[in-house]
Structure 1
Amino acid sequence: MKITTRKVAIVGCGLVGSTTAFSLVTQGVCDEVMLIDINEERAYGEMLDMRDSIEYLNRNVKVKTGTYAECGDMDIIVITAGAPPKQGQTRLDTLEMSAKIAKSIVEPIMKSGFDGIFIAISNPVDIIAHYIYKLSGLPKNQVIGTGTAIDSARLQNMIAQTVNVDPRSVHAYSMGEHGDSQMVPWSTVTIAGKPFYDVIADNKELVGDVDLDELVYRTTQEGWEIFNRKGTTYYGIATACVGVIKAILNDENRIIPVSTLLEGEYGERDVYAGVPTVLNRSGAYDVLEIHMTPGELARFKESTRVIREYTDRIMKLNL
């Protein structure tokens, strides 16, 4: 008889990392959560606090602290450690420092014998995920960035508010960069199967004039709206990450727009970008290549151009 234990490590116990870990514990997603942070006291304190919650939850998830050397038997490692942007910066402005941090994490983890799945949250997430892929030498399906998963959730919320429906009835993807250049293929957006264009046309009195470009802009700025008010975001992105983890550990074949390596899809190669992806126990199992209009595809390619430009820059630095 073989009994397997599902283990997830979180690297970085700041607000994003600790919230991700707590979501794993409260939802009972895995059997064991290991916290790793350069500030060992912070990690230990988070562990103690989470452990105190077990009595009142549905199951006992073991929470412990650990080191990179103990990562060899982990199924999934989430990297949240990175350089937070300062006021006036973009996610891309933090690239070099975040890449250095990623390298200092990935190299010792790989020495532990780790052969599981990396999930990157650290920004700029598309480029950091690609960098982790190169550093680790793992197959592309085993290195994922959270990509536009959170952006798509934000977009669905905004569309739902526009037409007054539950956001879970909205099917829409934000794609490309998790950043200012992301785009939305509006021709594929539906509400309970009805094309969004038709919903707008049929409900003029309800929705009025809908500015699609404004909705995209608001989606790109939502994170900054939160950042400017409370210093950072963590509930949304942590929950999105846990959604990705659940899809993998439960072998769900669920489609989530994560950042994965494109190898011909949408006419793009050797670039990580947020695209609808089938997630199961193997990680990023397959890319769902949706059909876009020529104009939408052009905007997607402009977004991947931005990602590639910065990816090439960090690869040439040889940090």
Structure 2
Amino acid sequence: MAGATPGFAFVEGALDRAEFLRTRGDRLAELWPDARLLRLDADGRALCATGGAPVDERGAAHPALQAEAVLLGMEGGRAWFAAPDPATDPGAPRVDLRTAAASWPVREATAFAQARAVLHWRARHRHCGACGARLRFERAGWLGRCEGCASEHYPRTDPAVIVAVTDGERLLLGRQADWPPRRYSTLAGFVEPGETLEQTVVREVFEESAVRVRRCRYLASQPWPFPSSLMLGFIAEAEPDVPRPSDEELEDARWFTREEVGDALEGRTREQGLLLSPRLSISRWLVEYWHRGGAA
């Protein structure tokens, strides 16, 4: 990872995933009563305290959830699990992941991101894609085994590149039509089968903006569980082409000067001018990296 520790969300404070425990049903049963439990509803929101703070619920308080719980990992000898919230109390306070990323301690926010991703996969992969039979979840929730053809299914993660594109003096940013007014971000797109990450950078930037990338360099990555992506951050040097945004991808794409980007980073454009992605995202970090003088 280039430079200092990144400031974006869902990276710091990660649990020890303790993969070796996933087949130890006896040990997991011993850990369950004192385990920390994150309960998420069908929309991926976590149960929280009044005001949005995280709650420290113990497994012993929810014995009925043990069979559906997923082991997230260990911290200091204590297990962390995530489980679908049966919503027995519809009025209980809940918080979405983006809000938690900005207000929760980093360990809790990172565990929440992990929980949201794996429970989303579980909720949407209840049957085998090969034969249609029901899946039985094993390995503490991380493996779905088909009850019909015995095929194995694992959580899905979709790799995507996200790129700070520069012509040496300016930064290329784009916006989607449904974003808030004046909000622009770095370009991004999913990796296709049989494609390298570098090829994806070249293809996606050209598809979205008609700008030709000359070279690129990997910098950092961020889990992005909305619902199941892994954002792979690059910086790229490109030709100073006139951006022509794709109607299918972007509403607008344009070059911004270092001064314009600096004003946005310092918050001097809140009333008018460029608005950037929030600090929780790797997109914002890539913009900051370029503005500090990072090069491809």
Structure 1 or 2: more strand by fraction = 2
> TM-score normalized by structure 1?
0.24
Larger radius of gyration: 2
Structure 1 or 2: more helix by fraction = 1
> TM-score normalized by structure 2?
0.25
